[in-house]
Amino acid sequence: MVTALAVIVVAAIGLLLYFHNWQQIVPITMATTSYQDITDTVSNIGTVELTDKFEPHATSPGMVQKLYVQINQKVRAGQLLLRMEDSEALSQLANNTANLRAQQAAAHDLQQGGSQDELNGFQIDLRRDEAQHQQALERLAQAQALEKTGADSHAEVLQAQQQVTNTQLAIDSLKTKMSNRYSVADIAKSRAQIEGAQASIAAANSLVKSADIRSPIDGTVFHLDVSQYDYVPAGDSLISVADLTRMRVRGYFDEPDIGKLATGQPVKIVWEAKPGREWHGHVVQPPTTVTAYNTRHVGECLISVDDPDGVLPPAANVTVTVTTRQHKHVLVIPHEALRTDGSLNYVYVVQGDHLVRTPVQLSGGIVTLTQVEVTGGLTEGQKVALGATSSRELTDGLRVVPVDGTHE
| Residue 138: predicted pLDDT | 80
| Residue 204: predicted pLDDT | 63
Contact 261, 324 (CB under 8 A): yes
Lowest-confidence segment of 98-107, 364-373, 392-401 by average pLDDT: 98-107
Q: How confident is the model at residue 108 (pLDDT cuts 50, 70, 90)?
A: low
| Residue 137: predicted pLDDT | 81
Q: How large is the average pLDDT for residues 368-386? A: 96
Residues of the chain with CATH 2.40.30.170: 42-52+243-324
**26-32 and 400-402 strand pairing:** parallel
Lowest-confidence segment of 43-57, 154-168, 322-336, 338-352 by average pLDDT: 154-168
CA atoms of 255 and 60, how far apart (whole Å): 44
Residues of the chain with CATH 2.40.50.100: 53-85+214-241
Residues of the chain with CATH 2.40.420.20: 25-40+329-402
CA atoms of 297 and 317, how far apart (whole Å): 18
Using the predicted structure, report yes or no on whether residue 405 has a pLDDT greater than 60.
Answer: no
Averaged pLDDT score across all residues of the chain: 83
CATH tag, 42-52+243-324: 2.40.30.170
| Residue 119: predicted pLDDT | 60
Q: How large is the average pLDDT for residues 98-108? A: 69
CA atoms of 126 and 143, how far apart (whole Å): 26
Torsion of CA 247, 250, 251, 257, to 10 degrees: 120
As its CATH architecture, domain 53-85+214-241 has Beta Barrel (2.40)
Lowest-confidence segment of 30-39, 68-77, 129-138, 368-377 by average pLDDT: 129-138
Q: How confident is the model at residue 106 (pLDDT cuts 50, 70, 90)?
A: low
Q: How confident is the model at residue 18 (pLDDT cuts 50, 70, 90)?
A: very low
Q: How large is the average pLDDT for residues 173-197? A: 68
pTM, two decimals, is 0.57
Q: Say if domain 25-40+329-402 classifies as CATH 3.30.565.10.
A: no
Task: Kindly list the distances between the CA atom of residue 324 and the CA atoms of 35, 41, 180, 256, 367, in Å, as whole numbers in the listed order.
Answer: 20, 5, 81, 13, 12
CA atoms of 405 and 29, how far apart (whole Å): 6
- Bridge partners (DSSP) of residue 374 are none
- Bridge partners (DSSP) of residue 182 are none
Q: How large is the average pLDDT for residues 102-119? A: 61
Q: How confident is the model at residue 20 (pLDDT cuts 50, 70, 90)?
A: very low
pLDDT tens readout for residues 215-274: 999 999 988 999 999 999 989 999 999 998 889 999 999 998 999 999 999 999 999 999
Q: How confident is the model at residue 344 (pLDDT cuts 50, 70, 90)?
A: very high
- CB count, 10 Å around CB of 313? 13
Contact 40, 372 (CB under 8 A): no
| Residue 42: predicted pLDDT | 95
More confident residue, 192 or 282: 282
Using the predicted structure, report yes or no on whether residue 22 has a pLDDT greater than 70.
Answer: no
Contact 397, 354 (CB under 8 A): yes
pLDDT tens readout for residues 160-183: 788 878 878 877 676 666 566 555
| Residue 17: predicted pLDDT | 41
| Residue 21: predicted pLDDT | 45
CA atoms of 386 and 55, how far apart (whole Å): 58
Torsion of CA 93, 94, 97, 103, to 10 degrees: -120
Using the predicted structure, report yes or no on whether residue 113 has a pLDDT greater than 60.
Answer: no
Contact 290, 258 (CB under 8 A): yes
CATH tag, 92-206: 1.20.120
